[in-house]
Structure 1
Amino acid sequence: MQQDMQISGKKQMRAGAHSASAARVGRPPAVSVQAIVAAAIELGLDTVTFKQIADRLGVAQATLYRHVHNRDELVRLAAFQITLARRLPDGEHEHWSALAERYAESLFEAFVGEPQLIAELLRGRLGPHAEVDILEQFVEALGEHGFTINESASLFHSLGMLTIGAASGAIGLNASLQNGEPWHRLMRTTLAERDEDELPHARAVLTNIAESSLLIDWRGALRALLAGIAVSRGEKLPVRAPRAARSS
């Protein structure tokens, strides 16, 4: 009799444990991948740590690792989400060059805003998943202005190469300022180390460049690119409004 009661008790314990396990499996997780990625973006991908994210979400770090295996994976997921969020502006009633210019500026701002994206790009970790969505929009939008698919794709990739190069330079300039070694100071030191009659052309150019202009002069190269495409199409670019008068 006692043995039967012990067996019955063990069965009930196993059944209770099974029910508790089933309940745990059925519960929604305390945190999701989306919440982790959102917190990482908000905190800044360049320096964010799992501890910071865990503190922000009010969970243990071990909980995060159940959803994201390491920091590299987290950055890739966040980069993917940032890129997907960068949609083309509505340019139905604009000249095609205005749409292209605003796309380039949005790409520039995305990379400068999250320098870690450049590092991920250099490591080959920013795949084509988000790029194909943007490319699809871009080709469709320029098709309405008479561009062929190949012409649209060529402009798309040209904008990417120009803008990513400009963003890399801006990130480097920002880093030099943050490190207390501004570009102008380093340039003056470099020129002072050389004889006064050396580098006359470089001195004439570099001493007349405002440091802040290094962040925006890339748009001159962008404008030249678009002007060349316009000429090849038998067009002329519309006069551009001053930056202060244009909406951001």
Structure 2
Amino acid sequence: MGRPPVADRDAIVRAALEIGFSRLTVSAVGERLGISHSTLYRYFKSRDELAAAVVDHAVQAIEWPLPADGWRSFLTETAWAHWRLHDAHPGLAREITALRLTSPALVRRDNETGVHLLGFGFSPEAAMLVVDMLAELVVQEFLATPPDGEGASLDASQRRRRELIDPWLDLYDPRLRPVLLGAVSGSATAWFERKLALFLDGVAARQG
């Protein structure tokens, strides 16, 4: 008859990561591992609890920056670390936006970023505003990314944006039109880099 499938918490999380957030269900994980729902529920009480553990694993796998060369450099590197996290895990942005889960590792990461900003002389209010807005800036870039298995990439998202905006370009002022066209036709990372720079310029103006 053979030995029954063996599963533990780590194996379940790895299987969930392989499935991806957009297709993540308890049934899908059970089928992949060849185990029953009752076995899975010994480790995770719900799909959302499992998803939170998967996010924890993903966050811990990312290399996060240390505050070495000033707050602007630190925030720039932190933004790109968030970018790598979402780029590696399609569907994560929708999970976070839907408020379906809280990841302790992500909470700890935001707290550490805020504490580092305090060390750079930011007020508690300014630190929390920056942490919140920086994360939202990245999340918004990935919300339109197609689900796993459907060309889940920023390039696919950019193509869709171009398709949606093309019929309405004439409604924009001629001075704005080429900028918008460049934004939806060019590299998503290049446009994000420009938005991040504008955001950080605003932070610098507020900090004086």
Instruction: With the length of structure 1 as denominator, give the TM-score of the two structures.
Output: 0.62
Q: How does 1:168-207 map to 2 (within 5 A)?
A: 168-169=143-144, 171-172=145-146, 174=152, 182-183=159-160, 186-187=163-164, 190=167, 201=174, 203-207=177-181
CA distance in 1, matches of 2:44, 2:109: 26
Looking at structure 1, the residues matched to 53 and 185 of structure 2 have their Cα atoms a distance apart, in angstroms, of: 34
Moved over 6 A (4+): none
Structure 2: 5+ residue stretches without partners: none
Cα distance in 2 between the residues matched to 1:188 and 1:133 = 39
1:88/1:137 contact within 8 Å kept: no
Unaligned runs of 5+ in 1: 1-28, 235-248
The reply on whether 1:230 has 2:204 as its aligned counterpart is yes
| CA distance in structure 1 between the partners assigned to 2:26 and 2:50 by the alignment | 9
Offset at residue 65 of structure 1 (A): 4.3
Q: State the number of aligned residues.
A: 198
Q: Kindly provide the amino acid, as one letter, of the partner of residue 230 in structure 1.
A: A
Q: How does 1:131-142 map to 2 (within 5 A)?
A: 131-142=106-117
Contact 2:30 2:36 in 1 (8 A): yes
Match of 2:77 among 80, 102, 108: 102
Change in 2 beyond 3 A, CA 1:129/1:68: closer
Q: How does 1:1-248 map to 2 (within 5 A)?
A: 30-48=6-24, 53-54=29-30, 57=33, 59-62=34-37, 63-86=39-62, 88-91=64-67, 93-127=68-102, 129-169=104-144, 171-172=145-146, 174=152, 182-183=159-160, 186-187=163-164, 190=167, 201=174, 203-209=177-183, 211-234=185-208
Deviation at 1:35, TM superposition (A): 1.8
Listed one character per residue, the Cα deviations across residues 93-144 of structure 1 (whole Å, up to 9, x for unaligned) are: 3121111111111112222322322222233222263343113311332233
| Letter matched to residue 211 of structure 1 | S
- CA deviation string 1:13-32 (max 9, x = no partner): xxxxxxxxxxxxxxxx9321
Amino acid at match of 1:218: F
Which amino acid letter does the alignment assign opposite residue 107 of structure 1?
H
TM-score (norm 2): 0.72
Q: What is the aligned-residue RMSD (CA, Å)? A: 3.6
**Percent of aligned pairs with the same amino acid:** 23
